[in-house]
Structure 1
Amino acid sequence: MKISLFPYIRTLSLAFMMLFAGCFHYVNASATEKSQVVVGTSLVLVCDNDAVKKNILFNLDVKDGFIPLSMMGFPRSETYIQSKVIEATQALGFYHPQISIDEEERGGGLHIKVILGAVMHWQDVHLEVVGKGASDPVMITKIKQLPIKQGESVNHGVYQSFKQKLLNYYLESGYFDAQFVVNELRVSPELNLADIYWKLDTGEQYQIQQVQLMGSELSQEFLKRYVFTFVDQAYQQNNIIKTQQALNRSGYFRYATVVQQVDAIHHSVTVIYQLMDIQKYEFKTALGYGTDTGGKAAVTLTNRRFDDYGQHFVWGLETNKVEIKTSLTHITPLEGKNNDWVNRFSYQVKDDLLARTRTFSTGSVLQLQLNEHWFNQYGVTLAAEEISANTEIQSRLIYAVPNWHLDYISEVEPLTAQTGSHWQFDVRFSDDILSHPDFRFLQLEQRYKSILSISENWRFIFRTQLGYTMMKSDQFDRFMPSNYRYFAGGDVSVRGYDYQVLSPIDSDGIRLGAKHLLTASVETDWRFAENWRWAFFSDTGNAFNDWSHINPSSSVGTGLRWITPVGSLRFDFAQAFDEPNNWRIHITIGADL
């Protein structure tokens, strides 16, 4: 039997080459004359155009000043390097570069000098759109904003990007058959001129034939409140994404995925939303800490699907050093996306600086989402309150307080917002028809917060709160419940001061709470690592009864922010101006906006 040795010789040869490539390296002496192992060829690049220089380095895949070795472990050839440099210069319109490649005397690296010469310009730019989408007003506007114009410098990156964006827009708008029937780029290097001839045929716009919501125990009528995609509507990818996001954010589903079935014959699409219901019952426990309220503990039990229309109940118990509270909440979904009717029953015992307060309340709130940025609430609170001090009951009050809340937030995801604004406005009132004859008041409150990105890693944050109460002073002192009195100081008010210590006091030094409130804060923070920020801030404000005697208290401080999926965990160290030797620690967590 004859045995061929060629396969074995070939295998041994390949093994030898791989062993040689793995052992091959360049040694570059460091400034301290300690040798350092590098993998690649060191490069010094000289070019007077920063954009072209950056593109050359990108094309050569330069890392830390070195051109990587080939896959076989050898240095890149001069021919390879020159071709990559030419590709990079031509991409930005320089078709006649003068390239010199020299080997450095020490270290064996390369010195490349690029003289660009004249740049190429666009001469004739012709774009024609035919088909059903030719009259699309959005597309007409985009074409008028064409970034490629006669006489401008050639940039192939801009050319390719706009061409792809043009096609993507039509595909996202349901023109699935859109294509360039004429796609010509004519380059004349000798004249330094280039011409574009495009003809785009959009074809027919596909329609939504059917919308299916599958996999959920909830009724179809309820699920449709989250849908932006409708039968016989022109296909719009944006509406499908909005529907998927609304379903995922609703709190009823573990996930919502989308399947699209395209019928090319009838130019139609069937959209199927596959849903996985979240667990019906949920039991949660939570432990936390706040410098204002000390240790915190909470438990909640939720029934997410009391019926197939999404009604759900939430029972909760919260306790800390200031208060203990238990509540039962019933939520009824209404027509429209994220519109709910919320009814809540609660019992609270609160030990604050004023007295011990026991409150039983029931409230009903109509929550309406006007759009993804504006929220509106109409509600009324009925309560029976008992105030005691030194075990003696001081007063009992039964009252009803209608209220209106308006909320604007510029960002859809406030937990991850890097810029934006958040504005809230509240109106509360009562009179002798609804409550005690002397319990008549009107209260207006406004909160505003703004985040401005100064640079990639620096932000400026401003917040303010203004509260105004129209009520006779003697009636306010006797009847106003503690939860409608204003106090300042603490973690989310004027840092550097203890919780609710800024307030009018009586002759015994007891803090009574105030009719009015004005606080403000300015802060700047620096992102020095992926999930960490360092902040510097100043707060000022007070709670008071007379606008002519505001007497604001101020503080300065610094703090660390740890960015987490549930918001920033903030560790603040603040000093009040009138307590120069006393630094106070504040710990909070939540959305920045």
Structure 2
Amino acid sequence: MHKKYYARLCGCALLLCLSLSVEAAETLKYKVQGLSRAQLENVSAWLGPAPTTEAERSNFLVSARDRVVNGLQALGYYHPEIDITVDKSKQPWQMSIEVAAGEPVTIALLDVSVSGAAAEDQEFNALLSKLPLAEGAVLHHGKYEAMKKSLLSLGQKRGYFDAQIAVSRVEVETATRRATVRLHYNSGQRYRFGEIRQDELTLFSKQVEALRPFAQGDPFSLFQLQNFQSQLQRTGYFSGVLVQPHVDQAEDFHVPLDVELFPAKRHSVEVGIGYSTDTEERLSLVWRTPLINRYGHSQETRLEYSAINPSGRFTYHIPLSHPLNDVLQLQARLEQNEFGDIDSKQQELGALREIRSGRWVSAYSLRHLSERWDLNGQSWDANYALPGFTLSHKQREGALVNPSRGLSQFYKIELGSDQAGSDMDLLRAYSKLVYVTTLPSERHRLVARLELGAVFASDSERDELAPSLNFFAGGSQSLRGYAYQSVGRELKQREADGSSRKLVVGGNRLLVGSLEYQYQFSSAWRGALFVDAGDAFDQEQFDANYGLGFGLHYLTPVGAIKLELASNVSDEDPSWRIHINIGAEF
């Protein structure tokens, strides 16, 4: 009995809810006509959604005219003609709102001024030069409020914490359709950066001072404060950084700053597995110690294994004058690589000082390279002491990993002397340029690449140059229609049966270029067509190799995943190669 009672009660409740929802959805429908798109959007925002109950419908009918008037006055139209009709014979009721906006009110006088210390502030002068309202323009209350908000917001960002709007008035003469707009901003005095309060035991205070883009006593700037916090975060020393100004504790207009630093994990280990067409399957392990001591030292140990290119690298970082912009790196490297038809084993110790200045990065280096390789039945080994200099620059617009425009430049030069620790005299130069541009139609994009290289050494010692100092071409980052490092100077080797075969041993010159057209057909996908050309050769022996191909790119937050097919059209028997990569152009 009780079960049947409760079942009937639940059924009645369900039917009641359904009837209420139907009734709520069918009380009134309205339509506004006669307005421009901007006017219609603002009026619709003032009217709001259609009423869902009879009480709301009654209120909506009474207030609809005033809401339309308010929506138009906000845009400067004070004399609209409004005709409202309601058809009650239909369910839901039908409301038609016919509107003629009329002539707008224009601004006869625009009086915007800044007084106080901000009157001499260039940022405020720039803001006043591009106000959203002007004399003769249509009065727009939304733009007026935005103008007021921008003054107050800029004041807070620039340290005018006592600022006030002294005068804020819009006077409209409806008969003449003229308006007077007055907005007077009084900034008061600008506050300055005070003392920095931090835990001295977290990091050597000299490093924090170097990262700070302002000095105590400088005018307050929220941008510089955020830049300071960002630079502390970029060091990798901390899991979190909080830089908090205390305006309420300011003395003599100097704002103290509390710097709270949350240390990163003492050690971190990353294990990865991946695949590259050039080096095939790859396993990697990276061990990092982001902060070894209070002077900002750190280390990274990277182990990678693939059948073609196993390697290990240890790098110890020592900040000098700046933890981010001036760093000494001590390096050790063990690597095995296949250069053409040569298996090479390298051991390297080096030191490099990297200095950043704006977008330019320069580095002075010294490395000792010991390399062993087998060629044509002979074993070779060589030792080099190579001082060098590199210079790089990256400029981009748009997303970091998918820029709409940009230019990447990289230049490197190294020297060796048989009088200073090298087995031979040499000069090695290399450069790489990548240019990206988007055509007027944003779906179309061009990417151009150019690689140049040269080694200058005695002809008598040509064959003694280590493979890693020669140049090779081919692979997913070079000539995509050719196998990894398969293009270079060739030697003939005679086999035991009297036949001969060609061995790729690399050239002392490099010239490789690429032009790629990309078309983005959705937010996440784009196609690509490309042509590659070039050679790794000895002086005056250039023989161009050409490759054509196409690809499909899937855009991700960490870069494009690229599936590319390319053919080596220069060969008598061209073949297709598949390349899979992830990353940005630079």
The AA in structure 1 aligned to 2:327 is D
1:375 to 356, 361, 382: 361
Relative to 1, partners in 2 of residues 1:420 and 1:351: Cα closer, same or farther, differing over 3 Å?
A: closer
**Distance in structure 1 (CA, Å) of the matches to 2:344 and 2:91:** 80
- Match among 470, 475, 492 for residue 485 of structure 1: 470
Give 1:435-584 correspondences, 5 Å limit.
436=422, 438-452=424-438, 454=440, 458=443, 460-471=445-456, 474=459, 477-507=462-492, 508-514=501-507, 515-526=509-520, 528-529=522-523, 532-545=524-537, 549=542, 551-564=544-557, 566-577=558-569, 582-584=575-577
Judge conservation of contact 1:215–1:274 (CA < 8 Å) in 2: no
Over 3 Å counting, the alpha-carbon distance change for 1:101 and 1:409 in structure 2 is farther
Maintained 8 Å contact 1:18/1:72: no
1:428 is displaced (CA, Å) by 2.7
Aligned counterpart, 2:5:
none
Q: Match for residue 366 of structure 1?
A: 353
Query: Could you give the per-residue CA deviations for residues 54-107 of structure 1, whole angstroms, max 9, x where no partner exists?
Result: 44455556xxxxx45458996683455544443333333222233445569999
**Structure 2 residue ranges without an equivalent (≥5):** 1-13, 493-500
**1:255 to 1:419, Cα distance in 2 relative to 1, 3 A:** farther
Deviation at 1:223, TM superposition (A): 2.5
The amino acid across from 1:563 in the alignment is: T
Matched AA of 1:503: G
What corresponds to 2:322 in structure 1? 336
**Distance of aligned partners of 1:180 and 1:158 in 2 relative to their CA distance in 1, 3 Å threshold:** same
The residue that corresponds to 1:400 in the other structure is 385
CA distance in 1 between partners of 2:104 and 2:298 (Å): 67
> Where in structure 1 are there 5+ consecutive unaligned residues?
1-14, 28-38, 62-66
Cα distance, 1:205–1:587 mapped onto 2, change above 3 Å: same
Aligned counterpart in structure 2 of residue 178 of structure 1, from 163, 166, 172: 163
Q: CA deviation at 1:342?
A: 0.2
- Contact kept? 2:280, 2:307, Cα under 8 Å: yes
Q: Which amino acid aligns with 2:532?
A: T
Would the alpha carbon gap of residues 520 and 428 (structure 1) be closer, same or farther in structure 2, given more than 3 Å must change?
farther
Distance in 1 (alpha carbons) for counterparts of 2:340 and 2:543? 20
Q: Which whole-Å CA distance do the structure 2 matches of 1:592 and 1:58 have between them? A: 45
**Equivalent residue of 1:500, what SS?**
coil
Q: Residue type of the partner of 1:268?
A: H
Secondary structure (helix, strand or coil) at the match of 2:208 reads helix
CA distance in 1, matches of 2:86, 2:54: 22
Helix, strand or coil at the partner of 1:501: coil
Query: Quick check: 1:279 aligned with 2:241?
Result: no
Q: Residue 159 of structure 1 is aligned with which of 120, 127, 144? A: 144
Seen in structure 2, the aligned counterparts of structure 1 residues 70 and 135 have a Cα distance that, compared at 3 Å, is farther
Equivalents in 1 of 2:372, 2:28: separation in Å?
79
Q: Secondary structure at the match of 1:486?
A: coil
Q: Distance in 1 between matches of 2:32 and 2:173?
A: 32
- In 2, Cα distance between equivalents of 1:144 and 1:380: 53
Deviation string, structure 1 residues 313-362 (Cα, Å, up to 9, x no partner): 22221111211112222111111241210010111122332311111111
CA shift in 2, pair 1:552/1:179, >3 Å:
farther
Q: Is the counterpart of residue 291 in structure 1 residue 277 in structure 2? A: yes
User: Cα distance 1:118–1:377, how it changes in 2: closer, same or farther (>3 A)?
Assistant: same
Question: Is residue 72 of structure 2 the alignment partner of residue 86 of structure 1?
Answer: no
Change (3 A) 1:17 1:151: farther
Answering whether residue 333 of structure 2 is matched by residue 349 of structure 1, we say no
Aligned equivalents of 1:548, 1:356: Cα separation in 2: 24
Q: 1:591 to 1:536 in 2, by over 3 A?
A: closer
Aligned to 2:7: none
Distance 2:46 2:479 in 1: 54
Distance 1:517 1:72, change over 3 A: farther
Paired residue secondary structure (2:278): coil
Q: TM-score normalised to the size of structure 2?
A: 0.85
Q: Secondary structure at the match of 1:140?
A: helix
The 8 Å contact of residues 207 and 323 in structure 2, kept in 1 or not, is answered as: no
Residue 52 of structure 1 aligns with which residue?
39
Asked if 2 retains the 8 angstrom alpha-carbon contact of 1:428 and 1:444, the reply is: no
What is residue 286 of structure 2 aligned with on the other side? 300
Q: Within 1, Cα distance between the matches of 2:111 and 2:65?
A: 33
How many angstroms apart in 2 are the aligned matches of 1:426 and 1:160?
Answer: 55
Question: Pairwise mapping of residues 58-73 of structure 1 onto structure 2 (< 5 A)?
Answer: 58-60=45-47, 67-70=49-52
1:4 corresponding residue in structure 2: none
Q: Normalising to structure 1: TM-score of the pair?
A: 0.84
1:398 Cα deviation (Å)?
0.8
Q: Name the CA distance, whole Å, in 2 between partners of 1:526 and 1:199.
A: 48
Contact 1:45-1:112 at 8 Å conserved across structures: yes
Q: How far apart, in 2, do the equivalents of 1:365 and 1:144 lie?
A: 48
The AA in structure 2 aligned to 1:526 is Q
Query: Which residue identity does 1:291 align to in structure 2?
Result: T
State how far apart, in whole Å, the 2-side matches of 1:188 and 1:55 are. Answer: 22
Does the C-alpha gap of structure 1 residues 473 and 193 become closer, same or farther in structure 2, counting only changes over 3 Å?
A: farther
Shift of 1:576: 4.6
C-alpha contact 2:132 2:147 (8 A) present in aligned 1: yes
How much identity, in percent, do the aligned residues show? 19
Which amino acid is the alignment partner of residue 491 of structure 1?
S
CA drift of 1:160 comes to 2.0
State the alpha-carbon separation in 2 of the partners of residues 59 and 523 from structure 1: 48
User: Given residue 115 of structure 2, which amino acid in structure 1 is its aligned partner?
Assistant: V
Aligned 8 A contact 1:211 1:229 in 2: no
C-alpha distance 575-351 of structure 1, shift in aligned 2 (>3 A): closer
Q: For residue 591 of structure 1, what is the aligned residue in structure 2?
A: 584
1:201 CA displacement? 1.1
Moved more, 471-480 or 421-430: 471-480
Q: Which amino acid aligns with 2:310?
A: I
The equivalent position to 1:97 in structure 2, one of 54, 69, 80, is 80
Q: 1:120 aligns with which of 77, 82, 105?
A: 105
1:299-319 CA distances to partner (integer Å, 9 max, x unpaired)? 122233322111122222111
- The Cα of 1:417 is off from its aligned counterpart by 4.5
Give the superposition deviation at 1:238.
0.8
1:10 matched residue in structure 2: none
Moved more, 313-322 or 231-240: 313-322
Contact 1:414 1:592 in 2 (8 A): no
Paired residues for 1:192-211 under 5 Å = 192-211=177-196
Report how far residue 125 of structure 1 moved: 1.0
**Matching residue of 1:12:** none
